[in-house]
Amino acid sequence: TAVDAPAAIRTTCPYCGVGCGVLATPDGRGGLDIKGDPDHPANKGRLCSKGSALGETLAREGRLLAPQIGERTASWDDALDLVADRFRRTIAEHGPDSVAFYVSGQLLTEDYYVANKLMKGFIGSANIDTNSRLCMASSVAGHKRAFGTDTVPGQYEDLEEADLIVLVGSNLAWCHPVLFQRIVAAKAARPGMKVINVDPRVTATSDLADLHLDIAPGGDVALFNALLVALADGGQVDADYVARHVDGFDAALAQARADDADATGLSPEKLSEFLRLWTGTRKVVTIYSQGVNQARNGTDKVNAILNCHLATGRIGRPGMGPFSVTGQPNAMGGREVGGLANMLACHLDLENAEHRAAVKTFWDAPTIPDAPGAKAVDMFRKVGNGQIKAIWIMCTNPAVSMPDAGDVRAALRGCDFVVVSDMFGDTDTAKLAHVRLPATGWAEKDGTVTNSERRISRQRGMLPPPGQARHDWDVLSDVGRRMGWPRAFDYASPAEIFREYAAMTQLSVDFGKDLDLTPLAELSDSQFDAMAPVSWPLRPDGAAQRFFADGGFFTDTGRARMLPVSGALPRDMRDGAAPFRLNTGRVRDHWHTMSRTGMAPKLSQHLAEPYVEIHPADMARLNLRPADIATIEANGQPVLLRVMPSTKVKPGAVFAPIHWTDQVASSAIVSRLTTKDTDPFSGQPDSKGAAVSIRKF
């Protein structure tokens, strides 16, 4: 009867940065029926294929059910004593920078907060970095350079209110499907709305576009510099906004004028159509994602986009603004609590002595490091050369996902002490660990995540942890206590941690930064339990709030900074030295290394096996036929992929998805091929630009 029907529990999808609300109803058999939450502002009831299949990913098969030391099952006490002891001894012998945490944009904010506090405040190193470094670090760096803080100015509603949406380096249709659906619906309701897709490859997103710009890899800076010149020459600069709120206009424009639009690789017709649409439309939102971020000049790409919005005052107003969409569910929450090697919590700056002192006092911490720690690529390089001797990896699988993944495996194999916390004991990374700790996962964990529009939502625990699995915040706190800091890590619940974090945002307010959650610092446990999605900055009526329409930037001067950025391509991308250029990305129905989505058979029906898209002209040259196996090689490592002919990639370029790991007798780990070249400002690796060779297997 209706009276007996179990109540649906409101929670949040654990996959992408859209942060869709989910209604999960216990089915009475240990599972969950899944629906989109019609009341969640991010998705208003929609879910994509991955979110809809969450109920099929709850099996206990493969779950790590008890701690393991080497191959033997151990008690939690023995395992955590060992972890605390090895970290303590390593620090005593080699200093705090000899240890590291590598964490994940899938951790909840409370897990992230405790990990960051333990490493930066108590161990005394900034060696905590995250797989979000591979995802949006260039956006963070670009935002900080332009705005003074890592602030996303807009709200999802802007995508529906815009008259022109420019999607740069984003296959939104597959990677953020519900946002894409919102744009599709808005365009259907207002057919005058235009969409431009800037991507070297034709994707499912291009189907919606009025204009597809098949830009040359790395050509985005030149494109937006050409736009800045067109805006200036067409009298489109908002001189009043620039005069009141922006520095650096002249230098940015002079650099833009010095650039050569040929670097875009676009036909004159396509380029002028882009310029005509952008300059002729007031309400423009520019969405950017991994095609922008994952590049050696990723931060400059971000600033080239921000320059155009700042010059025209098209920022922070309804239907206008630059919009970074993050790949992961809690990349934003992790940023907010400082879970990157070059940041402090609450958007404070590691290089600022006053900020460090305030954080130290707030935590009553023995120390705060005054230098950045190792960013992801450097972290594993230091593991490889022995500078980092103990590493704790949480909720992520770097043996598959890091660039030059074969080298990362070798580094972990040679490391003195590797701890892995994960739901599964047989991931490629977990197999390399000395200690494996069973972690709770989605449907068991409890806490908060922040999506790409700064909206904090609850993930709620609905199922009991299997076996002896424990929450990451709880295990981190336990290790903190065992290492000698019982008072600082005396947490009993995620609500307690959230309150401490919300109270800590007072520091952000005190230093004139953007992040203010102080009204949430007094939430009772039951109020935290019932907390509805809320976006910051908080307003009493809960309405969406944007930043920067009237200035108010978080730099020392209160003014934004336009940056002179050069569109010249790096030499090796100019001279055509590479036989082929490898572009990487996601498929529609899988997530990261498939440890969860691989459990739902229907999610493998769309694309069932690893593949590489190659242009037919290149196939003919290489004597390849459809469905042949090709050996793709870089970094001295061969990867075998099935050949998919495609005119969606240009000759000389190939595309392969990132999800698959080792097959029966070969490797399909595409990250073995990608480059460790990183952006100089963000440290984000160039996952889209590896030079590879291809031959028939």
Which residues bind to ligand SF4, rule: CB under 6 A?
13, 15-16, 18-20, 43, 47-48, 50-51, 176-178
Which of 154, 156, 164, 155 shows the shortest CA–CA distance to 190? Answer: 164
Shortest distance, position 316 Cβ to ligand SF4, whole Å:
25
From the number of C-beta atoms within 10 Å of its C-beta (0-12, 13-18, 19+), residue 395 rates as buried
The phi, psi pair for 31, rounded to 5°, reads -110, -170
Q: Which is nearer to ligand SF4, 164 or 178 (CB)?
A: 178
The phi, psi pair for 594, rounded to 5°, reads 65, 15
Q: In what order do the strands lie in the sheet containing 447-450? A: 447-450, 455-459, 534-535
CA 335 to each of CA 206, 273, 322, 326, 402: distance values in angstroms, whole numbers, following the listed order: 30, 37, 18, 11, 19
Shortest distance, position 159 Cβ to ligand SF4, whole Å:
13
Q: Which is nearer to ligand SF4, 51 or 121 (CB)?
A: 51
Q: Which is nearer to ligand SF4, 335 or 482 (CB)?
A: 335
Shortest distance, position 14 Cβ to ligand SF4, whole Å:
7
Shortest distance, position 46 Cβ to ligand SF4, whole Å:
7
Q: Which residue is nearest to ligand SF4 (CB)?
A: 51
CA 343 to each of CA 22, 130, 201, 490, 516: distance values in angstroms, whole numbers, following the listed order: 31, 12, 34, 24, 17
Shortest distance, position 465 Cβ to ligand SF4, whole Å:
22
Q: Which is nearer to ligand SF4, 22 or 302 (CB)?
A: 22
Shortest distance, position 452 Cβ to ligand SF4, whole Å:
10
From the number of C-beta atoms within 10 Å of its C-beta (0-12, 13-18, 19+), residue 586 rates as middle
Shortest distance, position 48 Cβ to ligand SF4, whole Å:
3
Shortest distance, position 409 Cβ to ligand SF4, whole Å:
28
Structure-token pair, residue 531: 């907390």
Shortest distance, position 181 Cβ to ligand SF4, whole Å:
8
- Give me the residue label for tokens 């736009």: 227
Q: Which is nearer to ligand SF4, 176 or 455 (CB)?
A: 176
Q: Which is nearer to ligand SF4, 172 or 437 (CB)?
A: 172
Q: Which long-range contacts (CB under 8 A, 24 or more apart) does 361-364 make?
A: 362/504, 362/507, 363/117, 363/121, 363/122, 363/488, 364/487, 364/488
Q: Which is nearer to ligand SF4, 84 or 186 (CB)?
A: 186
Q: Which is nearer to ligand SF4, 360 or 586 (CB)?
A: 586
- The DSSP result for 275-321, as a single string, is HHHHHT-SSEEEEE-HHHHSSTTHHHHHHHHHHHHHHTT-SSBTTBE
From the number of C-beta atoms within 10 Å of its C-beta (0-12, 13-18, 19+), residue 625 rates as exposed
Q: Is 631 helix (H, G, I), strand (E, B) or coil?
A: strand
- Cβ within 8 Å of residue 4, ≥6 positions away: none
Answer whether 570's CB lies under 8 Å from 576's CB.
no
Cα angle 310, 313, 317 (rounded to 5 degrees) comes to 115
Shortest distance, position 451 Cβ to ligand SF4, whole Å:
8
Q: Which is nearer to ligand SF4, 47 or 100 (CB)?
A: 47
Shortest distance, position 70 Cβ to ligand SF4, whole Å:
36
Q: Which is nearer to ligand SF4, 15 or 241 (CB)?
A: 15
Alpha-carbon distance of 370 to 120, in angstroms, equals 10
- The DSSP result for 329-349, as a single string, is TTHHHHHHTT-STTB-GGG-B
Q: Is 542 helix (H, G, I), strand (E, B) or coil?
A: coil
Q: How far apart are the first and last CA of the chain?
A: 61
HEC sequence for 377-411 = HHHHHHHHCCCCCEEEEECCCHHHHCCCHHHHHHH
Q: Which is nearer to ligand SF4, 51 or 685 (CB)?
A: 51
Q: Which is nearer to ligand SF4, 270 or 586 (CB)?
A: 586
Shortest distance, position 319 Cβ to ligand SF4, whole Å:
22
Q: Which is nearer to ligand SF4, 51 or 373 (CB)?
A: 51
Read off the DSSP letter of residue 610. -
50: Cα within 13 Å, side-chain hemisphere: 28
Shortest distance, position 229 Cβ to ligand SF4, whole Å:
36
Alpha-carbon distance of 582 to 613, in angstroms, equals 10
Which of 104, 113, 181 shows the shortest CA–CA distance to 135? Answer: 104
Beta strand spans in 45-104 (E): 68-69, 72-73, 99-103
CA 621 to each of CA 580, 624, 651: distance values in angstroms, whole numbers, following the listed order: 12, 8, 11
Q: Which is nearer to ligand SF4, 367 or 604 (CB)?
A: 604
Q: Which is nearer to ligand SF4, 19 or 142 (CB)?
A: 19
Shortest distance, position 110 Cβ to ligand SF4, whole Å:
19
The phi, psi pair for 420, rounded to 5°, reads -125, 125
Shortest distance, position 38 Cβ to ligand SF4, whole Å:
14
